[in-house]
Structure 1
Amino acid sequence: MQPLAQLLTPERTACQVPGLSKKRLFETLARIISDDQLSLSYDEVFSQLIGRERLGSTGLGEGIAIPHCRIGNCSQPVGTLITLSEPIEFDAPDNQPVDLVFALLVPEEANQQHLDTLASLARLFSQKDFCDQLRGATDVATMYELAVSARAIAS
């Protein structure tokens, strides 16, 4: 089992981010990740996230999205958690706009780990109470604590 704390840091957590489109969300995710993970460039992170999204929406439904990709120069899984002040269109299966986003980057060769972690994240974010608590958080510290205190996810 891999605790969410191994994927996430306070620096890669953002609360009630205003005024984003889907493209701006991916730009924001790339900026947050590349600022915290110096081995990962903004351009590479943005390009890989957008490239994966073009294959099909990473929206899960219920206002949740888990954008994800495999990426070179990534030595271990990296997560970023964002709540949005206003939901955005995301082409989710239920056509609901998204306001809760967890981005996941994994090493290029981590095929099974990628799938296992995605499945665990999907289970975690399917818990309505957990998502409601994250959406209700008004600061990064609270949001981060809620996230890392959630039950462990499989690695």
Structure 2
Amino acid sequence: MTLEALLSPRLSLCRVAGSSKKKLLLNIAQAIAEQYPHLDADTIFNQLIARERLGSTGIGEGVAIPHCRLPGCRQAIGVLCTMEPAIDFDAVDRQPVDLLFALLVPEDSEQEHLDTLAEIAALFNDSRVREKLRQADTSDELYARAINSAAAA
């Protein structure tokens, strides 16, 4: 699945004020529910938190990829955020997170979930991509940089 199919300008959030992992995931859940009214923000939040309880989705280098399969979700949905300041996400390298990509997929899409997650992780593994995204000043710029970086990869 392409990043362009996952992400929308409205779900590219630049320089979100971060206070905690829970607050950030709640804000993401609410942003998704605003764009997809058939999805419930509380359900999204609870699914993301349940996944975090299994182990942090902070993959290191200031990046986290919270994700879950979601009942009622009809298509894969992505949310890209930069945070300012960075927040503690219990990442594997113990570094705070300032770059996040949340992924929701339909409940029965296990293989799509794993494949898409691997593609996102590979993209964020590139230090040049991370730096380009961190330098975005607006949500539109963040979206454009993400799409262009994915297309070039």
The TM-score with structure 1 as length reference comes to 0.95
2:143 is matched with 144
2:14 is matched with 15
Q: Whole-Å Cα distance in 2 between the matches of residues 120 and 143 of structure 1?
A: 18
Q: Give how far 1:88 is off.
A: 0.7
**1:78 and 2:83 aligned:** no
Q: Whole-Å Cα distance in 2 between the matches of residues 40 and 132 of structure 1?
A: 32
Would you say the 8 A contact 1:4–1:150 is kept in 2?
A: no
The TM-score with structure 2 as length reference comes to 0.96
Q: Whole-Å Cα distance in 2 between the matches of residues 127 and 38 of structure 1?
A: 34
Q: Whole-Å Cα distance in 1 between the matches of residues 75 and 122 of structure 2?
A: 21
Gapped runs of 5+ residues in structure 1?
Answer: none
- SS of the residue corresponding to residue 150 of structure 1 reads helix
Gapped runs of 5+ residues in structure 2?
Answer: none
Q: Give how far 1:18 is off.
A: 1.3
The residue identity in structure 2 corresponding to 1:121 is: I
The residue identity in structure 2 corresponding to 1:85 is: E
List 4+ stretches of structure 1 deviating above 6 A.
Answer: none
The residue identity in structure 1 corresponding to 2:146 is: A
Q: Whole-Å Cα distance in 2 between the matches of residues 105 and 19 of structure 1?
A: 21
Kindly report which structure 2 residues correspond to 1:1-155, keeping only aligned pairs within 5 A, or say none: 2-152=1-151
Identical aligned residues as a percent: 49
- SS of the residue corresponding to residue 131 of structure 1 reads helix
* Cα gap change, 1:117 to 1:19, in 2 (>3 Å): closer
